[in-house]
Every structure is written in C-alpha cells, then in structure tokens.
Amino acid sequence: MENFQFQCATKIIFGRDTENLVGEELKNHTKKVLLHYGSGSIKKTGLYDKIIKSLNDAGITYVELSGVVPNPRAELVYEGIELCKKEGIKFILAVGGGSVIDSAKAIAAGYYYEGDFWDQFEGKSQVEKALPIATILTLPAAGSEASPASVVSKGNRKLAIMADCLRPVFSILNPELTFTLPAYQTAAGVTDMMAHIFERYFTNTKNVDVTDKLCEAVLRSIIKNAKIVLKEEKNYDARAEIMWAGTLAHNGLLGTGRVEDWATHRIEHELSAFYDITHGAGLAIIFPAWMKYTYKQDMNKFIQFAIEVWGIPGNDEETALAGIAATKEFFRKIGMPIAISELNLDVKEEDMQKMAEYATKFGELGSFVKLGSKEVFDIYKLAE
C-alpha cells in the first residue's frame, strides 16, 4: 500500500424530500447564493419551485445563472465569475448533474484567480482558494457532488482542475429526483461511475486488499441495481443504491493507498470534446478497448476482476478476456454504444491521430500502462 492523505469533508444529506432542507442548511454558511443550473428541466419537474420556497423560507437571497450544457463551456464560467463579483456573491448552489457542478466549481475557483480562469485548467496555475459551493444532485454519474475535480470545455479542449477546496460543503441527494431520468442518461451515468472505479481498480500497487474489495463491492452493487432501475424507473431503493454508489465511486475513498490510472478518461475526453458526445457513452466505448490493450500488464488482476465483479469462474487468460467481454456486453445491454462506429459520426483516422496527440500533449497517460500518442491511437482504433 502507498502512503496517502484522504479527507472528504462534504456533508451528505441523503434521502426523500431532502431538497427541502437546502435553505436551512445554507443558513449555516451564507445569506446569498448564485443559483446555478442547466437547461431548465428543474422547472418542469417542480424542483426549482421547491428550492425557491426553501431559500425564501430561510431568508436566503439568490441570483440565477442557468444554461449549463453537458460538457460545460468556459463561456458560462466567465459569465458566472463576473456575476458573482458584480453581485457580491460568495457561495454557489449548483442544482443538476456533474456538468452543472463542474461549472460551479470552475466559477468558484476562477473567482479568486486574478488572470484568465482557463489558465488553471491548462495547468499554468494551481487552484488554492475557491468560493464554497453546495449541490443538489439530479443525475448520479460524475461523482462531482463530493469530488475535488471539475472538467470544463473550451473550443475543442476539455480539461480538468483538482483541489480539495473544490469539494462541496454539502450535497443533497434525493433518489426521487432521478425517477424522471431518461434510460440513456441513467445508463451513461452508470457507465461513468463504473469507469471511476475502473480507473482506481487497475493499478500496479500491490497489497491493496481492502480497497480492492471495496471497489468490487461497489461495482457489483452498481451492476445489480442498474438492471433494476432500467426496468423500474421509479424503484426508490435501486435508485438510492445507484445514487450513493456514484458518490462513493469518486469521492476518493476507493483510491486510498493506490496509484490511480486515469488514461481512459483522458482518451475519452478528447472524443467528447471533438464530437460533443455524452461522457458516459464515450467511456463505454473506450474502456473495454483500454482493457483489451492493457490486460497483459497484470493478467491476475483481470482474472480477479472477472471472478469478483462478474462472477466468471476460471484462472487463465480466457477468464481475463471473459471479464472484459462481460464489461462490454453489460454496457451494450444497458443501451450504451460500444464502438466508435455506432456513434454515426464520421471519425476519420486523421482525427484519431489528432485526438491522440492532444490527449498526450502534457505527457504520457496512465500509470497501469504508460501510453504515448501511438498507444492512444491504437486504443481509438481498437474501439473503432
């Protein structure tokens, strides 16, 4: 096991009707918030009205900034930073999925940064201070509700920042808010959270027994409950399992004491930056290809994966490959694309070359297996 430091201070408020607690909870921190959300679906579902009532009841004033899109854009972040400064806002309430929360985090970090906030995403400056944020989660997927990370796009660049000060002060998770999620978004969310665990599970760090078993436990639970929610969209308990699993998949716990990988996320980020596809769908395409490309690095780990996660018996290469095939088949069954060709986009070989170069612009990717632009290109080809 590697030495590590771990602190996830985010307060989780989980369960039915918990969105109504937002005003009272905010009172411990602020009197005014930036209310940040997406396209307005929260108005259709009635969530918006509940939040406004809770804010009013608690005497919290708010300024709205809506319009966050999937793969959130830098343009709105600039706007958010200006708005917070102009209105004297020192706290952001993000209502939505990972895109809204990531956008809020970028505003929070950019608020205190003197230059162009995008510098931080380009790695020119570390995030050291940020406005506090809170979230009401409507889409279990990105894990941003308790993570220190934010991913934002500008042009066709999709980059990330990470800092403990970006972890939300509190996050409200009501599984009922996910009853109306379309099957495709539910499945993409499931894929995203599984990918967050894969990035930690496949490591060269030896003797990480507790976290190995925790990873397998959360994966098995996601797999089991994903099948249920895709059939019974209003099954509270299964939705609750998926929602809590999504947070645990990415709050850092499952990576304690181990070197994480994250090559696949970078490889996928280029795909979704170039073609604006759903992140989870991109991961469903790339992860099985990455597994196939790297499994010989540690056959035993892939055999363990097949046995413990997918319940496939055996102890040889065939078992390892069956585990990878089961992963791909699961993604297919839940309605995800599993090949670039299924996206019906005209992805040319020269685009793959370009994406591979962009992905490795800051150096080789991953740690389980180090990947240069040639290897990344090969993985795009494997995923074709």
Q: Residues interacting with a copy of itself, by CB under 8 A?
A: 1-16, 18, 170, 206-207, 209-211, 213-214, 216-218, 220-221, 224-225, 236-238, 240-241, 244-245, 248, 253, 256-257
Question: 9 vs 162, which CB is nearer to a copy of itself?
Answer: 9
Could you tell me the smallest distance in angstroms from the CB atom of residue 54 to a copy of itself?
Answer: 16
Phi, psi of 313 (to 5 degrees): -75, 160
Write the single-letter amino acid at 89: I
Which C-beta is closer to a copy of itself: that of 251 or that of 373?
A: 251
Given phi > 0 = left and psi -120 to 50 = alpha, else beta, which region is 33?
beta
If the CB atoms of residues 211 and 373 are measured against a copy of itself, the closer one turns out to be 211
Q: How far is the CB of 263 from a copy of itself (least distance, A)?
A: 25
Closest to a copy of itself by CB, 15 or 335: 15
CB of 10 to a copy of itself, least distance (A): 7
- The residue (of 238 and 338) whose beta carbon lies closer to a copy of itself is 238
Q: How far is the CB of 236 from a copy of itself (least distance, A)?
A: 8
d(C-alpha 234, C-alpha 178), whole Å:
8
The closest alpha carbon to 56, from 26, 29, 16, 36, belongs to 26
Q: What is d(CA 247, CA 332) in angstroms, rounded to the nearest whole number?
A: 24
At its nearest, how many Å lie between a copy of itself and the CB of residue 217? Answer: 4
Whole-angstrom distance, CA of residue 227 vs CA of residue 224: 6
Q: Which is nearer to a copy of itself, 157 or 220 (CB)?
A: 220
Give 214 or 369: the residue with its C-beta nearer to a copy of itself: 214
- CB of residue 307 to a copy of itself, shortest distance in Å: 13
Of the candidates 260, 122, 270, 105, which has an alpha carbon nearest to the alpha carbon of residue 195? Answer: 260
C-alpha span between 178 and 181 (Å, rounded)? 5
Contact by Cβ (8 Å): 144, 99: no
Cβ nearer to a copy of itself, comparing 253 with 345: 253
C-alpha distances in Å from residue 77, one per residue of 70, 110, 119, 131, 164? 13, 8, 13, 13, 20
List helix spans (H) across 202-295: 209-231, 236-248, 263-275, 279-294
Q: How many CB atoms lie within 10 A of CB 365?
A: 24
Q: How far is the CB of 73 from a copy of itself (least distance, A)?
A: 32
CA distance 4 to 217: 22
> Residue 241 Cβ, how far from a copy of itself at the closest point, in Å?
5
Nearest to 118 by CA among 148, 84, 146, 76: 76
